[in-house]
A and B are shown apart, each in its own frame.
Chain A
């Protein structure tokens, strides 16, 4: 089977989510890569070094500069003439583009693949991960989005893909990028962090969030996450949200501070290796999944913990 993996990048480097998608695709067959963007020569070179890379198609055009789905989908559809599977990381970018490609190919997409059981059979989470479905598709081509935490990352070095230009399908003129507020964050990225400290509604305000959660995270070299309640209340920006509708994370250690453990939150972090919970309510549902629990007032406990680490 010939797979085409959409390379996720920031214009300069390949994002880690791509590497998990490559591993998933390699279980299906040959792995070709698609780099679309403007001035993405360095990205294509990096993509060619990914272990297992075959052909790296590079579509270098201003139309692709902002990853607009309206422009990238027709490009992917062109290349799918010679491929059997289109594989995207299940990031917001992949989720934006892949279904548009699937519709244009007249196939059903399999979203958020957790494992590959056969050439047409996959497992995926439904109901916020409260159930796992094994599904089999009858479509002639595959369109998959792949959950990053479910697949090992392919090695970023050691591959010898062949870079080949792809014909631009041009700007469809349907949408225009205006601007982006991308959080500049010196901390590790949530979805690939080894340790995450997350705060919930109990933090009460943004000042507390910054003065309690961040020093603890800094001590541990951890990424910072949050519950939806904390995001909604404006303590932190939306890209901190962990859960069914936020980011899916699976670090070695996840420390939940003042988070109750609603199923929608658990959906995003219950595959963490070790879960630590700090909550003043001994009956909070988070303790049902926590390996290590501490019942206590976070305003007392967190500064003490940060101090003693």
Chain B
């Protein structure tokens, strides 16, 4: 079966975001951008399913500015077979991303779409569920284990109380949680090979999708800062302080 893996280019998770002075957003000029960490896990999972003979072809997709091509090359270097870049300026919201992905699904007919559970820039956690809704497919969100099971896929999900396992009819949507796997690094030869793997260029119009945002940003501000307090010298002093808070008897 074919697997489609949407990957987003985001501010690298190690970089502390800087808010623009005019309060319109986070400054993304001259900062390190990387593949969304959950999407690396999605690519890795697709590769593992291919190594197990469950998946036969992996198609990576990214929607965003032209530079998202770098993110797709990373996916190709990890082991995706080919890529589709849907070029769009500005913010493309999860609903529009899901509609574009629906168009790609119609063309590609994958049996699995593996997405990250959330993009760590906008922290929306929506796209996979929306795509599943638009397609009328089963959804296995926040996956920590994925197993092929005779026309179905068994997904163990990280839920608030612990773990839940569901069986999904194929085709299905999966969104990845952090413990699903540990993504591989691309080797140098694979990075070289990725340069010649096919990458198709598309636009949202090719799928008839209007990407005009439904949500506008009024402003972006710093969260209220915490002041560092004081250090105590020893456990006795800590106990006294805790007692003053009414939670311990000294």
Contact = CB atoms under 8 A, between A and B. Distances in A.
Q: Do A and B bind each other?
A: yes
Interface of A: 66, 68-70, 73, 91-93, 95-104, 106-112, 121, 125-139, 172-183, 191, 195, 220, 228, 231-232, 237-239, 244-245, 247, 252-253, 263-264, 270, 274-276, 282, 287-296, 301, 304-305, 308-309
Nearest to B130: A103
A304 B241 CA distance: 15
Interface string B223-250: 1001011111011101101100101111
A92 B139 contact: no
A127 B125 contact: no
Contacts of A91: 160
Contacts of B109: none
A174 B250 CA distance: 58
- The DSSP consensus for interface residues of chain B is mixed
A286 to B, nearest CB: 10
A109 B220 contact: no
Interface in B169-210: 169, 172, 177-179
B26 interface: yes
Contact of A178 (B17, B94, B167, B215): B167
- Counting chain B CB atoms within 10 Å of each CB, the highest count among A110, A131, A293 belongs to A131
Contact of B95 (A103, A173, A291, A305): A103
A231 B179 CA distance: 9
Given A107-B95, A292-B230, A301-B235, 14 more contacts: A96-B142, A108-B214, A112-B123, A130-B17, A131-B19, A131-B26, A135-B215, A175-B139, A177-B165, A178-B166, A183-B162, A232-B179, A245-B177, A288-B228
Interface stretch (B42-50, B73-81, B82-90, B114-122): B114-122
Contacts of B125: 95, 99, 111
B168 interface: yes
Given A239-B160, A309-B242, A136 B129 contact: no
Contacts of B228: 287-290, 293
Interface in B110-141: 117-118, 120-134, 136-141
Contacts of A172: 136
A307 to B, nearest CB: 9
B219 interface: yes
A308 to B, nearest CB: 5
B165 A95 contact: no
Nearest to B233: A294
B81 to A, nearest CB: 28
Contact of B249 (A92, A126, A175, A309): A309
A232 B179 CA distance: 7
